Structures are given as structure tokens and as C-alpha cells.
Amino acid sequence: MQPANNQMTPGEMGVRTRLIVALGAILGAIGVAAAASASHGESRNLSAIATICLSHGPALLALGLAGRGRIIEWSAVLLAAGTIVFTCDLAVREWLGHGLFTGAAPLGGLAMILGWLASAVAAVLGTRTAK
């Protein structure tokens, strides 16, 4: 079965695109696991991890599959890095009782905010779409 003209096969995706899509899928899996764990107890940290991963994972999937261009790539990098730092900080707080490092949560949150804003800029300016 041939893909439609506007769809890329995995072999046509660049390494960065595949990494972004894979990270989005991994964050989705982490989000589901955190939600399941949070349902067995009263953990704000696990609930927050679930919410963040289940919202940013699909966003990374969409960015990875939607198109190419520097702004899209930077948007994905900022979203991914921010999500990783923020959720790791919450996980370390949950299981070790202290943060990842001083300022990790605000740094991760700022990166996520900048990633979303970069996505808005890419939408307004337009980017080359995947072929």
C-alpha cells in the first residue's frame, strides 16, 4: 500500500523528526503510567506528570509529523526539553523528596511556554510542509 502524496514514510523522515516523534510517543507512555500510578494514591506530582506528558507528548507527535523548518524544530526542542526537565523535577520530588536542581521547574516551564509560542510563530509565518 502506497502512502498518500502528502505523507512521509518512516524512511523518509530525518533523524531529528524521528527523535521528536519517538519522544512524543515515550512521553505519552510516561503520561499514561503516571496517571495509572496517581489513581492509586494522592500524589499531586504524579498527576501533574500525567497531565504534562499527556498534553506535550501529542504536541511533539504533531510537530514532528506536521512539517519542517527551523521554527518548528526549535519549538519541538523547547517543548521536549522543558517537558523532560519539568517532569523529572516532579519525579525526583516525588521519590527522593527534593528537586532535580534549583530552578528546574521554572526553567522547564519557561522552555515549554517558549516552545508553544514558537509553534504560534511558525503557524503565523508559515513553514515548509513535509513532502
Helix axes 44-66, 15-38, angle to 10 degrees: 160
Centroid of chain to Cα 117:
14
Instruction: List b or e across 76-92, with b for residues whose CB sees 16 or more CB atoms inside 10 angstroms.
Output: bbbbbbbbbbbbbbbbb
Residue 6 has pLDDT above 90, yes or no: no
- Range 6-12 average pLDDT: 58
In the predicted structure, residue 23 carries a pLDDT above the cut 90: yes
Q: What is the pLDDT of residue 130?
A: 46
Per-domain boundaries in the chain: 15-121
The DSSP symbol for 128 reads P
Model pLDDT for residues 26-66, shown as the tens digit of each residue = 999 999 999 999 999 888 999 999 999 999 999 999 999 88
Residue 67, classed as helix, strand or coil, is strand
Neighbouring-strand partners of residue 67: 129
pLDDT tens string 55-96: 999 999 999 988 778 899 999 999 999 999 999 999 999 999
